[in-house]
Structure 1
């Protein structure tokens, strides 16, 4: 296959638009990427900004299917995509020279067998188009047929060519790929029903490594059937083993098996089964995945993505929102907000199309998208979605429902984030009243609403009212879940923060120390909340002039955040900013400057230039520069 044809095929596979396809082929068909962006943009009759936007959109489409691309740094994204495309292209079929094809066949088949019919062996190589994959398939087939003559094999291949020519043409396979189709057909006929069904199931996977943990199957009979199917497919070279528990289907073999599946009466059943399997894996994705979660789940993401992209119609209505939301969590938890946004937007559109505009799951999908926008500071986009969610829930559920209370909370917290306290307060008061009415006074959701309302009172300078609510929430949590609970630690932090803000450091300090100990004991030393507590306690020490005690805590918190969240997470930026501020206060300007710069760069890249955290760090950096260099 020519490189240009390969690129066109990839563009179609990833559903690129006409403009995106033109930019994609123009960029990657550029010999050694020698032309500049300006030259390429000019050839496409667009400006550089539009060209860059198109390439960014293209990259994101590929990254949705292949997480290893999504975690690339922004600087080398297109280089990584180029490497990915080249690797995939090289894994596709390569035509050998006739002598090389014969040499390969000699390494695969017993020499004496070929020597008995040498001219037939050469004709077989030619019939197979000198394709390595076809030769490998035929060799494995011969292994299972020790007494089969090469002449008979050639006749069978010629017969299969006639039978499958129409099928191959109908599925747009290139002419020189026919050899594989016939060799595949002979091998396929050697499989029993169990292996064929399993092969069909695997063909629904993405073009990526397939993790098969057969040992985790509880049903012994099913485990044995899967093990036998894998062995049979491996024996005939229809499946490749990459490493322990990791397998891969050749792209063309995958396509040929899919043709078999679509012609069978079991296509819908297999697709429903595969979608259900991937859904169960998707359900394992937590809302805040840690590095271990990311490592364990990454091999499965391409296949979950395959279901979301091509098999969503086989996911039942009640699980549709789960599939897309879990994919969004996987990316959002790594700070990959563009990928998360794409999945949440698709979720809204798909649910609206399937279930109609007035469905409760539409409200949930809108709320999820709004939550993402709020977390990255895109408040103007989050607000109408939260408002739509609130109105839709009221319409469907009535005014007195817990989901309505949740929507009131969400909208109020958005207003709080933008300083619109007078609009937030009545919503939080109404949400608290509603929860008390529906759940009773003694409920954790009531305690949570108390904390939210306390935040508004604190932000508007009503410290006594805020303190009372924080104390009530803390006591309620203790009564409901006991003293040893992470939420108790969170509420200790809330109360301590109020004391710090009002200069009551002696009252705040024991609460922060207690929260830190509690989190270490309950969550372990390696947890993001522990990093938060380390930073909180360090800030108190800094505020009271105990810089030598603050510095090691800031450093511990920073290193912990890096280990848990990666170097480019907003929480890491906040830790960098805090440590830089300490260096500034102690006049260690050389140490402070690179930390401020790195913190600002992380926030601009992950949260955007207008996010409150970004603006705060930018203001801190500007103030530092004025102090240090003027």
Structure 2
């Protein structure tokens, strides 16, 4: 396969737009690798800002399908993508020398069988384009039919080429795939209907490792059928096993299985089934996944993303928002806000187009995107989305609704974050009273509303009003959610801040320490909430003159913020300001 053709295939596979494809192909074209961005942009007749935007979007789309690309700083993204593409290209297509091809075939087929018909063996290698994948497929086919002569095999391959040629032309497949296509056709015929259907179902997975665990299937008969299908596919080299429970489809095999599926009457049924399977996995993603959750869910993310990108039409309207929101939670929890934003923006667009502008799920998708903007300090972008969502919910659901109560709190948070305390307070109070009326006093959302209103009182130095609310919220959360919950950590931090603000440092310190350890256990060491806890404890040590304890905590907090939020995020700037002020105080 030529490099340009490979890039075109990758662009199509990853759903790049026309503009993104043009920038992608231009940037990674072999003869352009030494050129600067300005030159490449001029060749496309666009300004450099648009070119950089397209290239950034290209990386994000690849990162959605390949989680290993998502963890990368901005300075080495394109180098990392170049290395990834090069490795993928080389793994897909290793054309052998004729002698090397014969040598490979000899390892796959009984030597005597080849020696008797060496001339036919050489013709078969040539026919297959000296491609290792095609040779491997043919070797497995011969092993399956021990009495088949090489002459008959060659005739079957030639016949398949004649049959396959119109399909190849119709699908714009390039010439190097011919050998693989014919070998695939022969092996396909060796599969029973169950294995054929299973292979087609797997082809709907993303081009990534596929986690398969038949042991978790409760139906014994279905478990045996799936196990046999996997064994049959492995035997014919139509599926590769990387490790226990982890498999992979070669990109070309995946494409050929997809063609088989699209030609069958079962295509819609299979795609609906696969979309439903990935939806069930997506539902396992919590809003705040801990490190163990992330580790367990990571192998499934490319396949969930594949459904969101290419098969969302096979999800029911009632499930549409769930898939995108869960993907966003997965990335947002790790501080990968750009990836999360992409999914939430797609969710807004898709729900509006599919459900219409007057739908409750549209309000939810607007609210989810707004909350991401709020968490990254983009308040001016968040506010109109929340106002739009609130009006939509009131209109569709009425004033007395839990979604309205939630929306009131979110909008109040924006007002609070932008210093508009007099606008925030009545919204927090409305939300608290509404929650009490709707769900009663003993509910986690009542605790959250208490905490929110108390935090506002703290910002406005109304500590005597804030303290009983914070204590009530903490007690309620522990009782309803248990000690090991992130909301308990938030309450601990807020109560500690109140104690610190009122000079009760000995009471504040153990609460800050508890909140820090809890956030580390639940979120891992590299999360913005951990940075906030570190900053809070460092600030307390600073005010008490314990500088040796404060300095490493400030440094850790700043490093985490810069890595996860970026250098210009409000939280990063606050932590940096605190650290700079601390250094001036200590060393001047």
TM-score normalized with structure 2 length: 0.91
Whether the 8 Å CA contact 2:141–2:186 is kept in 1: the answer is yes
Q: Distance in 1 between matches of 2:408 and 2:481?
A: 28
Q: For each residue in 1:585-627, what CA deviation from the matched residue of structure 2 results, as whole angstroms up to 9, or x when unmatched?
A: 85969994x8767754653554355543223223224434544
1:233 pairs with 2:192: no
Pair 108,502 (structure 1): closer, same or farther in 2 beyond 3 Å = same
Whether the 8 Å CA contact 1:377–1:607 is kept in 2: the answer is no
Residue 442 of structure 1 deviates from its aligned partner by 4.3
Q: Distance in 2 between matches of 1:256 and 1:236?
A: 14
1:313 pairs with 2:271: no
Higher RCO (C-alpha 8 Å, min separation 6): 2
- Aligned equivalent of 2:416: 416
Pair 310,488 (structure 1): closer, same or farther in 2 beyond 3 Å = closer
1:152 pairs with 2:157: no
- Aligned equivalent of 1:450: 450
Residue 328 of structure 1 deviates from its aligned partner by 0.5
Structure 2: gaps of 5 or more residues: none
Pair 585,59 (structure 1): closer, same or farther in 2 beyond 3 Å = farther
Secondary structure in structure 1 of the residue aligned to 2:75: helix
Residue 444 of structure 1 deviates from its aligned partner by 3.9
Root mean square deviation of aligned Cα = 3.0
Q: Distance in 2 between matches of 1:481 and 1:591?
A: 34
The residue correspondences of 1:27-38 to structure 2 (distance < 5 A) are: 27-30=27-30, 33-38=33-38
Q: Distance in 2 between matches of 1:148 and 1:228?
A: 24
Q: Distance in 2 between matches of 1:38 and 1:573?
A: 40
Residue 458 of structure 1 deviates from its aligned partner by 2.4
Q: For each residue in 1:318-337, what CA deviation from the matched residue of structure 2 results, as whole angstroms up to 9, or x when unmatched?
A: 11111111110111011000
- Aligned equivalent of 2:330: 330
1:400 pairs with 2:359: no
Q: Distance in 2 between matches of 1:491 and 1:567?
A: 21
Q: Distance in 1 between matches of 2:117 and 2:366?
A: 69
Pair 351,115 (structure 1): closer, same or farther in 2 beyond 3 Å = same
Q: Distance in 1 between matches of 2:344 and 2:482?
A: 37
Q: Of 531, 534, 538, which aligns to 1:572?
A: 531
Whether the 8 Å CA contact 1:377–1:610 is kept in 2: the answer is no
Q: Distance in 2 between matches of 1:374 and 1:501?
A: 25
Q: Distance in 2 between matches of 1:362 and 1:200?
A: 34
Q: For each residue in 1:93-132, what CA deviation from the matched residue of structure 2 results, as whole angstroms up to 9, or x when unmatched?
A: 3332323222222221111112222222222222222222
Which deviates the most, 214-223 or 563-572? 563-572
Q: Distance in 1 between matches of 2:394 and 2:177?
A: 59
Residue 468 of structure 1 deviates from its aligned partner by 3.5
Residue 16 of structure 1 deviates from its aligned partner by 2.8
Pair 145,449 (structure 1): closer, same or farther in 2 beyond 3 Å = same
Whether the 8 Å CA contact 2:493–2:533 is kept in 1: the answer is no
Secondary structure in structure 2 of the residue aligned to 1:226: helix
Pair 505,583 (structure 1): closer, same or farther in 2 beyond 3 Å = closer
Pair 38,566 (structure 1): closer, same or farther in 2 beyond 3 Å = farther
Whether the 8 Å CA contact 1:334–1:565 is kept in 2: the answer is no
The residue correspondences of 1:25-424 to structure 2 (distance < 5 A) are: 25-30=25-30, 33-41=33-41, 43-44=43-44, 49-424=49-424
Residue 572 of structure 1 deviates from its aligned partner by 3.1
Whether the 8 Å CA contact 2:289–2:523 is kept in 1: the answer is no
Residue 575 of structure 1 deviates from its aligned partner by 2.1
- Aligned equivalent of 1:623: 581
Secondary structure in structure 2 of the residue aligned to 1:189: helix
Q: For each residue in 1:71-107, what CA deviation from the matched residue of structure 2 results, as whole angstroms up to 9, or x when unmatched?
A: 1233322121111101110122333232322222222
Secondary structure in structure 1 of the residue aligned to 2:577: helix
- Aligned equivalent of 2:561: 603
Q: Distance in 2 between matches of 1:247 and 1:503?
A: 59
Residue 238 of structure 1 deviates from its aligned partner by 0.9
Residue 246 of structure 1 deviates from its aligned partner by 1.1
Q: Distance in 2 between matches of 1:422 and 1:502?
A: 23
Residue 509 of structure 1 deviates from its aligned partner by 6.3
Q: For each residue in 1:231-250, what CA deviation from the matched residue of structure 2 results, as whole angstroms up to 9, or x when unmatched?
A: 11111111111111111111
The residue correspondences of 1:581-596 to structure 2 (distance < 5 A) are: 582=541, 592=551
Secondary structure in structure 2 of the residue aligned to 1:143: helix
Q: Distance in 2 between matches of 1:489 and 1:617?
A: 19
Secondary structure in structure 1 of the residue aligned to 2:352: helix
Q: Distance in 1 between matches of 2:482 and 2:85?
A: 55
Whether the 8 Å CA contact 2:444–2:481 is kept in 1: the answer is no
Pair 346,489 (structure 1): closer, same or farther in 2 beyond 3 Å = closer
- Aligned equivalent of 2:570: 612
Q: Distance in 2 between matches of 1:474 and 1:209?
A: 43
Residue 489 of structure 1 deviates from its aligned partner by 6.8
Secondary structure in structure 2 of the residue aligned to 1:242: strand
